[in-house]
A and B are shown apart, each in its own frame.
Chain A
Amino acid sequence: MKLGLPPFTRTATFRLAVLYALLFTIFSAGLLIYLYAATVQYTRYVADQRVNAELDSIQKAFRDGGLPRVNQSLIERASIPDRYFLYQLTTPTGTKLSGDLSGMPAEGTGRVEFPIDAQRPDGSLLTIEAEGRIVRLGDDALLMVAFDAQQRNEVTRRITQAVWVAFGVGLALALGGGIIVSRWVNRRAEELASTAEAVIGGDLHRRARLRGANDEFDRLAERMNAMLERLERLVKASRHTGDSIAHDLRSPLSKVRNRLESALSEEEIAPEKARDTLETTLGEVDRVLATFNAILRLSNASTASRARMVRTDVADLVEELAEFFEPAAEAVGLTLKAEKPKSAIVLADKAQLSQAVSNLLDNAIKYTPTGGYIALQVAVNRETNKVDLIVIDSGPGIPEHARGRVVERFVRMDSARTLPGSGLGLALVETVAEVHRGEFLLMDGRGAPDRPGLKAVLRLPLA
């Protein structure tokens, strides 16, 4: 059986925590080693200084009065209670002259370390570590000054111990903290993941829970919820579209079917009549195809990528469209004027934007009675950093209560049912506005209250 690691160990936070603990360990190990070395070196230096000072003072006595003076000095020193130093004076061959030990612990001169037996205050014996230095006094004798190194070694041992404890505690803290943090992060990530899981499973209503801490997870959850909101809206819209398509295409297709059926049921069909039936049917099928094309264009527009967008001067675009539509307007007795637009740069899919404005102009030409006017304007608002592409006509306008509905797919006003059209034109404008992070507004034009005309505004953010 494979031993699995707990899930939080596979998180980025945990890996970071481990890395952090590792770095912490390396750093503190370095620091502690330095501390240890420095302390040991310093205590050794201080002890050496004291031993040297003591040796100096005894050598001075030797220079002043020879061995007898040294001997006397040692006797004096030995009488000091709780003395720090041990002394030993021998002949150059090692025969004891006076001192605390039975003989020299080492031959020659220089530094020595040796064990000695000592008596505890209660009388029991123990071995302690001593350290000292041996020097030659002229040709007559060898002198050693030593001290009890037990205490110093004890300090070193304690420091070593503290170093190990600090090291262990630090490492445990780093790892433990890492585990706690990564488990916490993992739990919050799991919460978001479970929301996503639920949505994948089909529950489009599910939203991520906010903790109210306004931390990065809350912000992520917020954006995720906004995304889900939009997704839900799109799914609903496309469901609605699907229903509408079925509904809208059913009736022309049933008509086609009926016509073909009745033509088939006739015993003998006159060639002119057959041709007539086929032509009418073809026309109807063409209209169905045109509706399909409009639907495809609409769904293309709503999935358009920002990648296709380029910096576009709306003034040029509007001027070209005005020039394009002007003769058609004139032909039905309307004046179409583009009020000399100021240059305004937006980030746009040029083909889509042209199509949107052209839909507005198409509508204006279609619904404005002869003798009326259509005005095309560009208004820049530097304060809000937006530009309005405006089409105003002197037609019947759209009553306020219907304005929200006419931008929905397949919605047509009753007064327009007899005119050709798919009911998708304004829906496309709305979609193009959305894709360009702008908005589409409908309001009264500048006519009299009973016949206000329509003002359609495509508001886009300036680039």
Chain B
Amino acid sequence: MNLLVIEDEQESADFIAKILGGAGYEVDIANDGDSGLRKARDGDFDVLIVDRMLPQKDGLTLVQEYRDGGGNTPVLFLTNLGDVDQRVEGLRAGGDDYLSKPPAPPELLARIEVLARRQPGEVPITTLKAGDLEMDLLSRRVHRGEQKIDLQPREFRLLEYLMRNSGQVVTRTMLLEKVWDYHFDPQTNVIDVHVSRLRAKIDKEFDEPLLHTVRGAGYRLQA
């Protein structure tokens, strides 16, 4: 997969390229807004990683122009500060996700993986499947094999997010943002406790575990 990193600070760009290269991605780097936009338009990339503060053309304008020109590659914003205003601005300008600098490697990889796998204009689906675990999004029922699983509304959303991204690592911060819409880090291990509650419901009585802990990164739902 091909990624484009648009970042003016060379050290920061090299750091990101190294993390992504180590995970097997092809990485191209642009050092300013203008060349970034040109490359994004001409090249065939799976995800664009865009710094908010760039010389010549700031990241926000760049993405806006890219989207106006019909570009639909997913965009991950890098911000200096996970400020709510910046996040909302970024998403409004056509970004798909954001991460504050310096990104922790597992967080960066997990987010890119999720963005790269997302198909633009996806057909709406009504059932999600992972192994013998099945979720009906219309009737809001969950089964594993023959057994029905009862979930609280929030547990349902947590499992839905994990299943939509099954096979991929999702970090605690991603769960916090996408499932609860909270944008702060709690000091206590709140997310872990929620995940282990969910795990008790979907894995406990079965031989084959589906919800895996990925050390130092997060969780992965995989059959």
Interface positions of A (Cβ within 8 A of B)? 289, 293, 296-297, 300, 308, 320, 323-325, 327-328, 330-331, 349, 351-352, 354-355, 358, 362, 365-366, 420-421, 425
Contact = CB atoms under 8 A, between A and B. Distances in A.
B188 A324 contact: no
B183 A351 contact: yes
Contact of A354 (B82, B85, B102, B182): B182
A7 B194 CA distance: 71
Nearest to B198: A327
Given A293-B82, A308-B85, A351-B84, A328 B180 contact: no
12 contacts: A293-B82, A300-B84, A323-B154, A324-B194, A325-B186, A327-B194, A331-B193, A351-B84, A354-B184, A362-B187, A365-B188, A366-B187
B132 interface: no
B136 interface: no
B83 interface: yes
A26 B79 CA distance: 65
Given A293-B82, A308-B85, A324 B180 contact: yes
Nearest to B182: A354
B190 interface: yes
A374 to B, nearest CB: 12
Interface string B145-164: 00000000010000000000
A354 B194 CA distance: 18
Given A324-B154, A327-B190, A358-B186, 6 more contacts: A300-B83, A300-B84, A308-B84, A324-B180, A325-B190, A362-B187
Contact of A328 (B102, B182, B188): B188
The bracket for how many chain B residues form the interface is 20 to 34
A394 to B, nearest CB: 17
B197 interface: yes
SS of A interface (majority)? helix
Contacts of B100: 293
Given A308-B85, A328-B193, A362 B186 contact: yes
B81 interface: yes
Contacts of A425: 187
B139 interface: no
Nearest to B153: A323
Given A300-B83, A308-B85, A351-B84, A328 B184 contact: no
Interface string B104-144: 00000000000000000000000000000000000000000
A362 B184 CA distance: 12
B56 interface: no
B184 A355 contact: yes
B154 A358 contact: no
Nearest to A296: B81
B181 to A, nearest CB: 9
Contacts of B183: 351, 355
Contact of A327 (B84, B102, B180, B197): B197
Interface in B160-207: 180, 182-184, 186-190, 193-194, 197
Contacts of A320: 180
Contacts of A293: 82, 100
A362 B188 contact: yes
Contacts of B190: 324-325, 327-328
A349 B183 CA distance: 12
A349 B193 CA distance: 27
Contacts of B83: 296, 300
A323 B85 CA distance: 26
Contacts of B184: 297, 351, 354-355, 358
Contacts of B85: 308
Nearest to B197: A327
Contacts of A325: 186, 188, 190
A320 B187 CA distance: 17
B187 A420 contact: yes
B103 to A, nearest CB: 11
A293 B101 CA distance: 10
Nearest to B87: A351
Contacts of B102: 289
Contacts of A330: 193
Contacts of A323: 154
B153 to A, nearest CB: 9
Interface in B88-104: 100, 102
Contacts of A327: 190, 193-194, 197
B28 to A, nearest CB: 28
Contacts of A355: 183-184
